[in-house]
């Protein structure tokens, strides 16, 4: 009988304890969600790529909290970052794709957006073609040497020619004009972009 009383007492104590869940703690107070959870994963990322990106999922990791002001760019800015560059790129986000276009808010292709951003932020006139940007306006750099404002180039055909360009931000993020999604932020670590990556370039053209 004594054992039964002890068991009943223990059960009563356990039932009286409050249920604690992670939902009620600070571990879920941040509203920020990593880009790979928020992005529209359908459609082609650039001019020459068919709609096969659904099978190429981003590689998680390295995502930090984002300053609310710059949340659309999915990066956290420091005091030494080029705010003019980030502000200009943010103003292009959502611009629809338009072949041979270069108009913010109206329509642009990848090289058109890059050319206009460089002209506005740095006062530098780049070639209108992504392959020529690499050949004539840039020097090739290592991935480990990428800094904000550098260009990232991609190819989609077996001949290895450059067919797409974007502007690197930081934390593996870059901005580019997708033929299906318009101007958007993506991550170089995504399997798709890692597979089709051609090279990185630092602009050497001056005014």
Which residue in the list 36, 138, 164, 196 is annotated as catalytic?
164
Which residue in the list 110, 155, 196, 198 is annotated as catalytic?
110
Residue 156: predicted pLDDT: 74
Alpha-carbon gap, residue 145 to 147, rounded angstroms: 6
Residue 76: predicted pLDDT: 85
Which residue in the list 36, 176, 196, 198 is annotated as catalytic?
176
- pTM of the prediction? 0.68
157 close to 198: Cβ distance less than 8 angstroms: no
Residue 170: predicted pLDDT: 95
Assess whether 164 carries a catalytic annotation.
yes
Q: Per-residue pLDDT tens for 119-139?
A: 999 999 999 999 999 999 999
Residue 31: predicted pLDDT: 26
Assess whether 176 carries a catalytic annotation.
yes
Assess whether 36 carries a catalytic annotation.
no
Which residue numbers in the chain have pLDDT < 70? 1-71, 206-207
- In the three-class reduction of DSSP (H, G, I as helix; E, B as strand; rest coil), residue 6 is classed as helix
Residue 13: predicted pLDDT: 53
Residue 2: predicted pLDDT: 62
Residue 182: predicted pLDDT: 94
Residue 1: predicted pLDDT: 58
- The string of DSSP letters for 46-100 reads STT--S-GGGSPPPP-------GGGGGGT----TTS-HHHHHHHHHHTTPPB-TT
Residue 18: predicted pLDDT: 39
CATH of 2-203, one of 2.60.40.1930, 3.90.1720.10, 3.30.230.70, 3.40.1390.20: 3.90.1720.10
């Amino acid at each position: 009988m004594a054992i039964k009383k002890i068991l009943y007492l223990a059960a009563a104590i356990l039932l009286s304890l409050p249920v604690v869940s992670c939902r009620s703690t600070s571990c879920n107070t941040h509203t920020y969600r990593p880009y790979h959870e928020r992005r529209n994963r359908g459609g082609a990322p650039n001019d020459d790529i068919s709609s096969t990106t659904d099978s190429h999922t981003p590689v998680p990791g390295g995502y930090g909290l984002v300053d609310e002001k710059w949340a659309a760019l999915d990066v956290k800015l420091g005091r030494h970052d080029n705010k003019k560059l980030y502000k200009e790129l943010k103003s292009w986000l959502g611009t629809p794709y338009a072949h041979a276009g270069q108009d913010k808010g109206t329509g642009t292709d990848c090289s058109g957006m890059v050319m206009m951003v460089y002209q506005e932020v740095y006062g530098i006139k780049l070639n209108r073609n992504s392959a020529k940007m690499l050949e004539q306006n840039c020097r090739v750099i290592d991935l480990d040497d990428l800094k904000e404002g550098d260009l990232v180039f991609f190819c989609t055909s077996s001949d290895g020619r450059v067919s797409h360009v974007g502007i690197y931000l930081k934390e593996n993020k870059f901005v580019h004009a997708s033929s299906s999604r318009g101007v958007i932020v993506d991550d170089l670590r995504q399997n798709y972009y890692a597979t089709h990556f051609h090279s990185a370039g630092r602009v050497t053209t001056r005014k």
